[in-house]
Structure 1
Amino acid sequence: MIELSAGQGPRGRDAAAIPDFDAVAFGPFSLRSRLLEKDGLPVRLGSRATDILRLLVSRAGEVVPKNEILGYAWSGLSVEEVSLRVHVAELRKVLGDGKDGARYITNIPGRGYCFVAPVRRGGRAEVATPASRVPERAAPPPSLPRRLDRMVGREDAVAELAARLLRDRFVTLRGPGGIGKTTVATALAHEMCDSFDGNVHFLEFGPLKDGALVASTVAAALGLVVHHEDPSASIVNFLRGRRLLLVLDSCEHVIEEVARLAENIYREAPGIVILATSRESLLVEGEQIFELVSLPGPPQGTRLSAGEVLAYPAVRLFVDRAVAAGHRDDITDEDAEVLARICGKLDGIALAIELAAARVGLYGLREMAALLDNRLQLEWRGRRTAPPRQQTLGATLDWSFGLIGESERIVFQRLAVFAGHFTLRGAIAVAAGAEMAEDRVVEALEQLVVKSLVSTQPDGASRRYRLLDATRAYALQKLADGGQLAQIAHRHALYVQCTLEAGMRDKEGSDHASRLQESASLLADARAALQWAYANDDGAGLRVPLAGSCTRLFVELNLLNEARIWSDRALAMLDEADRGGAWELELQSTLGHALMFTERNSEQAEAALRRGLEIAEALSDHANTFRLLSRLNMFYRRTGRYRHLVPTALHAERIARVIGDTAGIAGSKALLGVSYHLAGDQAAAQAHLDQGLRDDAALRGTQPGHFAYSRTPQIPLARVLWLRGFPDRALECIRPLVGAFGAA
């Protein structure tokens, strides 16, 4: 924080005396006095951002220190540096900095900011040259959701919230549904990335249905392997001594579990900064409340000009979204009164404003005002017994639903079964049918995106789609009222099962990281599909295969408690047709692996692994036979039953030779070497580990999906060599690994 005495900048200048200069121009912009224009049209810019721009332009080409800028723009105030970053970010957005190669403001790390675009004064161009080349800003962490291209009316809230977070460490952003809590939290997370050196984790709890999974979800996001039912203590221990920003979004439906975990983190990990978004307070130690109020709108019953009404954020948001949807951008004084009336009826709720604005291009402003009078009733003091997500936006969505065509209504309702983001392929699988051709689904989805009922974001070369939480709850109720929920939920569960099953078949030779990312995107839907299938008779036929495919995903994501619970439930429901088949094999293998880590190597874990091995051998499934032998070998190592190690390893070696896979044979040699080592035969251990090491290139090339995936044999070989009296060879064996770890 930089403290400035009243009226005095850090270099003795009068902080209120922003430099005066004649009109200047840069790119398509001109700046005179406090008016910024682009191609002759006024550009809306906040007062502090204007001060910053005037100062930087007046000293174009010169690096202006951050404390000097703060002294000019915040005279006499004590402010955090993050406030400056927020307003510079606003400037860059308005100027289009970085688009089509245009560069205006650059940051010189540790020094300040520099205006680098050519500046024309009195018709003469002065080219500003930065003191040094500045690297591009690092990409945000992959866990952050994509920020809006343009955020209206919340810049000051972001700046104030950032300062509060740095001061108080634990802030809950509270407000009603649809008001923009997630938008503000996302923008803040992006803005504060640099302050936390990129260590920002954004967790969306909206898709989570079971509060008991809160801690597991946080652990998975932090990259922790969960070895017990409640990982809360492990999370707190991991976070001690670290510094990062943890954003917990949409907490209201799992608030008890989030509150307990957040309080423990606040108490025990002083370097962690927590931002929660919720409709209600967490009511725990350390929590500070930041109330996100409605977007300010013009007073009702007063006559304002177009310029005056556009000074209010609610109107600016409405016009911004209306223009994006095809409405004309020339707002007249006659429109001002109608705009004021519309925004008053929408109560400054961002989602309601956006839904209404998206249709202005179709109906016009005055018709829109009439539709609001006749079709829309926003009651913010509604019944407390109503579903939470319908207490404020139900009427808005009712009206919006009445404006879309029949095909769009059908697709809109069916897409509500997705618990998270979905792809076009997923939309077709769930929404298409005998009465709805695929091309109609594609067309309807396009219209739903255009009309702001479905949001979209790029995902590499394709796109992903999502219904906002309130919108999804509304559409899901419509689907249930129409009697189609069971049918569409069955399609959804079948889609999840088939997609995950296809991923299981495509494991060999595929890129593990990209495959895991694709599978992880289905996690919320996998959980939702399982909950539905096991709670409804219509899902009975899908329970076993769905659990079999989902539990493999849980193991890959280290969600071992969920893998244990669902594999156990599915095995209890096996019928005679499934016994001894591929799905029982998958479930027994998963159960044994999960029990090994969550139930401390219980007898049940061994029984599950042995039953899986029995089925794999009966089916001549050599890859799974090898996997289960490897897991049994691990089980015996963990339980100290060393007499079983060599027989299981020899069995695995025979299977690897039957398969004829080079990496598998190398893996079996490593398994044998470790087994002989622990059984006490160091000479045999060295022989097998040496042989495995000669084929190490094949072993290191395996992906985690390969049946013989294993760790490098150098570490056990070094231990064997040390025990046999060859310390120099042991060090030589381990030295490359030490160098590799040091480089990492």
Structure 2
Amino acid sequence: MTDDQETYSFGPYRLFPIKRLLLRHGEEVKLGGRSFDLLHALISQSGQVVTQRDLIERAWPNMYVEEANLRVHIAKLRSTLEDGDGEERYIETIPRRGYCFVGNVQRNAGQVPQRTSSETAARPRSHNRLPSPLGRMIGRQETVQELSRLLAETRFVSIVGAGGIGKTTVAVSTAHSLRSEFRDGVEFIDLSGISKDELVETAITSAIKLPQNSESTSQDLLQALAKLQVLLLIDNCEHLLEAVSALAEQIHANAPDVTILTTTREALRAEGEQVYWLPVLESPPDEFITASDIHNWSAVQLFMERAAASGYRKKLSDDEAITVARICRHLDGIALAIELAASRVPSYGIDGIAELLDDHLKLLWPGRRQAPARHQTLHAVLEWSFNLLTEDERRLLTTLSVFVGNFTLADAHKIVAGDVQDANAIALTLEALADKSLLWTSIVGREVNYRLLDMARSYAKAALNASGDADEIARRHSLFVLGKLRNTATAELATPNLLGNLRAAFEWCSNAEDEGQLTADLVANSVRLLLSLSLLRECEQWCTRALEGMPQEFVDTEIELALWEGVAGARMFTSGNDPEVRRAIDRSLTIARSLGNKEHEMRLLAGLHIFLSRRADFRSMLSMSGRTISVAKEIGTDDALIAADWMSGTTYHLCGNQLLARQHFNLALERSARSGTRHIDTLGYDERGRGMIAFIRTLWILGEFELSARTAVMAIEEARALSQPVALCIAFIYTTTAAIWGDEIASIEERVAELHELAAKNSLEPYRAVAIGLRGCVSVRRGQFKDGIEDLRASLAILERENHRVIFTDLQRQLAEAIALEGGNHAEATALLDSAFAMADANGEEYLLPELFRTRGILLSTGAQSDPVAAEAAMREGIEIARRHSCTGWELRGTVSLALFLLQQSRPKEAEASLIEVLAKIEESDRHSLPSAARSLLEEARARL
């Protein structure tokens, strides 16, 4: 006899495994499928400990289930057996091991009783109209387990969420996983086709096959349900909330073996109801992601599977992976929206879908033919929800569609201020829309933030456009954004949320009739924000359009001043350093001086300082330094004085006076430390960042290599913290040039690669060109002359075109040296170096003179027409210039080249003497590349004596 053929007796109970039947005093005991499996497993091994793992495997085969689920079912089983209510005990918990059946059990082969026809009639069997589950459900396995646990504990759960989020799919899957728990099965009641409250009761009565007549009452239904052990899955309740809520309360209270699972876009608010807010599918974060790891997110898994099912078989590239991640975030992780978008990928491609997402047409994309009508398109999903709203809710929802991203109650009140609604009324309506799953809420700080789901916003936007109120609402929104720009500090404005609203406001203003004044005002107040975020193309385009449509009353005002300032700041980065930039700066300075606005004048002088440095016009920078210091003193603020010192230090560094440069840099640092002032923004530049990178180079030239290296690390960290591409590019460029001078090649290759990627990504063409040149310098230092020379030529060609010359002379010098060391065209190398000398002389670029003379010495010592006497004279000239200006770094670099030359000339004694003299000025503990190379040469010179 098998274990299943045996029967078991304990206390007043008899267990018949083959018929899955438990009797108490001859009456059937209602027991769920898993509870029956657990009891059978325990009683068949009575007196023995059955482990938790064995019990889980018995009741939940091939499923991962947490131990908490087992504890819930054991507790329910004990309650059913009235375990411990009297003296009798059946199931004992064995801590950290499992459970043991301790009751007195008799085994026998008794006959299994048959139910009478009256018993069968009293318990109508389920016809199981439950829809089939999806073949593969993505990202919801843990949700199904959680819902199963909640249903076992509470018997009444409502799955709440937005239309298309997947409520029915999850509910059906949960019901299938629990079918064996309910003796009378699962009944699926779809209310989507019912429009009257009184038909809810009829639908449930019909589902359980209870005969109806004209005298049938609610009490008849409750009495019938009281005899059943059944799961009622009531789908799509949102349009019949009151009726479903009232009936569900009664069923929960009067039918103790009935479990209720509902799906709804708004909670029922019924007694006993446990609300389960269904989370959206997980989308990748807003950061760089590769094709190899994008499939870790459920939203992407669904997107790619549905795209493949529709015929898309291509392998994702890294760029496409980023686009897919953006699509999934844009669609808020809503399953239906993702499915519909993915189904169109074969037609439009991934990039095409991303472009179409802002189009109202996405609401009309068709879904699966067999899907319910309300899920055939996103438009149908939204129409279903929209039709359930009150008039006030519809009006507010359409009005709020003007917002991009999050907004607060105060924000909403400003937009609807023209309507007769106070803040309390708006708050209540917002709460109602959130309850209906059309708004998402979050807590930011101490304030509640709201956001329309993307597809709800698209639908509401279309409704707003059709209402005739769109222009009035858009104007209010533009004024709201303008108020934010005027009344909030720039640093606090740099959020994607405000930026999205700003773009929407500008788009409306610039295309609306007779809104030139509002457009100019809005753009003028956004210039500093756009520059600080390095949104250069937008800044230039917006300012140019605003100036073109600017009304006469804004001429020679702060508005025109800000617009020209935006043009100047943006064009310096996007269009090189052409005369238009100088014209914009000069026009801005004229207006600022006419208005007596010293703060603006100071900022524009800083902009002019940047412009002149990029054109390598260092003499003009020096001549304007006095005016900068004078204006800063008139303003008198720490910000102005610190900025003036950073600019003066940079000017003196480039003009060759490193001691005076260091004096100004130290003044800026000391004042910053006292005042707490750090970052000062000028036309998208951080003045501290500009000064710091010049300070790094000054320290290196003065021979303070370790301090220069530490300051370089700090400058890069500060630039990263600003999250401004321009600031980080500048930090990379000038810390790298100092490292190249010191032959610290190993430490900068990653920095150069990141610079190139960052500049390319943000359309910063001059910086991308510099990155190519620096890459060439690294290649040359590694002996890869062909690649290095090619990169240096390409870099100089672009910088020439862009008129970006701040390190042009140094790159030209390095190209000449590379050609000479490779043994290339000596005449070309000489011509390049002569051009670099001429440029340095014309620009006042005296800081580089020692290097230029050192390179001339190298050229004169190589090639078929070498001149050792002239070569040595040039090298010594560079060393002497460096000594005169206390430039120990240049002196050491020149002396290393001279020592190599002298050793080639078999003059080790002279090489030793020159090296000893310069190394005496270097800290013995300094182990950087250049001092180490000098010490190695000194040992070689002594070995040759």
TM-score normalized with structure 2 length: 0.42
Aligned to 2:465: 480
In structure 2, distance between residues paired with 1:540 and 1:38: 75
| Contact kept? 2:56, 2:70, Cα under 8 Å | no
Higher relative contact order (CA 8 A, sep 6+): 1
Contact 2:568 2:581 in 1 (8 A): yes
In 2: Cα distance, 1:670 partner to 1:578 partner? 34
1:675 shift after superposition: 0.8
Mapped partners of 2:394, 2:640: distance in 1: 53
CA distance in 2: counterparts of 1:469 and 1:153, whole angstroms: 21
Residue by residue, what CA displacement relative to the aligned partner does 1:67-93 show, whole Å, maximum 9, x if unpaired? xxxxxxxxxxxxxxxx99985687678
Say whether residues 1:418 and 2:393 are aligned partners.
Answer: no
**Cα offset, 1:569, TM superposition:** 0.6
Q: Give SS of 2:689's match.
A: coil
What is the DSSP-based 3-state SS (H/G/I as helix, E as strand, rest coil) of the residue aligned with 2:441? strand
Question: Within 5 A, what are the aligned runs for 1:371-386?
Answer: 378=374, 380=376
Question: Counterpart in 2 of 1:312?
Answer: none
| Distance in 1 of aligned mates of 2:97 and 2:59 | 7
Q: CA deviation at 1:657?
A: 0.9
Choose from 21, 26, 31 the match for 2:70: 31
Provide the secondary structure at the position in 2 that maps to 1:522.
helix
Contact residue 664 and residue 699 of structure 1 kept, 8 A: no
Q: Percent identity?
A: 22
**Residue of structure 2 in register with 1:102 after alignment:** none
Aligned match for 1:265, one of 314, 318, 324: 318
Match of 1:735 in 2: 710
Structure 2 contact 520–546 (Cα < 8 Å) conserved? yes
Q: How does 1:322-401 map to 2 (within 5 A)?
A: 378=374, 380=376, 390=379, 392-393=380-381, 395-401=383-389
The separation in 2 between residues aligned to 1:425 and 1:286, in whole angstroms, is 41
1:201 corresponds to which of 264, 281, 285? 285
Q: 2:599, 2:77 → 1: CA distance?
A: 65
> For residues 670 and 410 of structure 1, what CA distance do their matches in structure 2 show?
55
For residues 85 and 486 of structure 1, the distance between their equivalents in structure 2, rounded to whole angstroms, comes to 42
Residue 723 of structure 1 is aligned with which of 701, 709, 723?
701
Distance between the aligned counterparts of 1:39 and 1:421, measured in 2?
Answer: 50
Q: Which amino acid aligns with 1:597?
A: F
- From 268, 275, 282, the equivalent of 1:188 is 282
Residue 509 of structure 2 is aligned to residue 446 of structure 1: no
Match of 2:537 in 1: 561
Q: What are the within-5 Å matches in structure 2 for residues 216-227 of structure 1?
A: none
8 Å Cα contact 1:653-1:668 kept in structure 2: yes
State the Cα distance separating 1:685 from its structure 2 match. 2.4
Tell me the SS of whatever aligns to 2:345. Answer: coil
User: Tell me, what secondary structure is at the counterpart of 2:577?
Assistant: coil
- Return closer, same or farther for 1:669/1:422 CA change in 2, 3 Å cut-off: same
The 1:478–1:723 alpha-carbon spacing in structure 2 relative to 1, beyond 3 Å, is closer
1:660 aligns with one of 636, 655, 660 = 636
Given residue 505 of structure 2, which amino acid in structure 1 is its aligned partner? A
CA deviation map 1:643-685 (0-9, x unaligned): 2212333322222111112343122112111112212333432
Kindly indicate whether the alpha-carbon contact (under 8 Å) linking 1:551 and 1:566 is maintained by their aligned counterparts in 2: no
**Are 2:541 and 1:457 equivalent residues in the alignment?**
no
Q: Distance in 1 between matches of 2:321 and 2:422?
A: 56
Tell me how far apart the structure 1 counterparts of residues 502 and 79 of structure 2 sit (CA, whole Å). Answer: 54
Q: Distance in 1 between matches of 2:707 and 2:468?
A: 70
What is the Cα deviation at residue 570 of structure 1?
0.4
Distance of 2:172 and 2:534 partners within structure 1: 40
Q: Secondary structure at the match of 1:463?
A: strand
Distance in 2 separating the partners of 1:94 and 1:736: 59
How far, CA to CA, are the matches of 1:249 and 1:529 in structure 2?
A: 35
In the alignment, the residues of structure 1 paired with residue 408 and residue 143 of structure 2 have an alpha-carbon distance, to the nearest angstrom, of 32
Q: Which amino acid aligns with 2:533?
A: L
Q: Which has the higher helix share?
A: 2
1:281/1:487 Cα in 2 relative to 1: closer, same or farther (>3 Å)? same
Q: Would you say 1:282 and 2:345 are equivalent positions?
A: yes
**Aligned partners of 2:138 and 2:301 also within 8 Å:** no
Q: Secondary structure at the match of 1:393?
A: helix
* Alignment-mate amino acid for residue 605 of structure 2: L
The whole-number CA distance in structure 2 between the counterparts of 1:30 and 1:399 is 40
Which residue number corresponds to residue 583 of structure 1?
Answer: 559
Change (3 A) 1:625 1:249: farther
Aligned residue pairs, count: 463
Whether 1:628 and 2:604 are equivalent positions in the alignment is yes
Aligned in 2, Cα 1:736/1:595: closer, same or farther, shift over 3 Å? closer
Distance verdict in 2 for CA 1:91–1:268, change over 3 Å: closer
Distance 1:430 1:275, change over 3 A: closer
Tell me if 1:408 matches 2:383.
Answer: no
Contact 2:516–2:546 under 8 Å retained in 1: no
2:461 counterpart letter in structure 1 = L
Structure 2, gaps ≥5 residues long: 1-50, 81-92, 100-136, 151-161, 174-263, 266-276, 329-337, 352-367, 722-945
- Looking at structure 1, the residues matched to 420 and 59 of structure 2 have their Cα atoms a distance apart, in angstroms, of 68
Q: Which residue, 456, 466, 481 being the options, matches 1:496?
A: 481
Cα distance between partner residues in 1 of 2:580 and 2:301: 38
Report the AA paired with residue 429 of structure 2.
Answer: A
**Could you tell me how far apart the structure 1 residues matched to 2:499 and 2:602 are?**
28
Q: Which residue of the other structure, out of 495, 504, 521, is the alignment partner of 1:545?
A: 521
Q: Distance in 2 between matches of 1:581 and 1:409?
A: 43
Secondary structure of residue in 2 paired with 1:420? coil
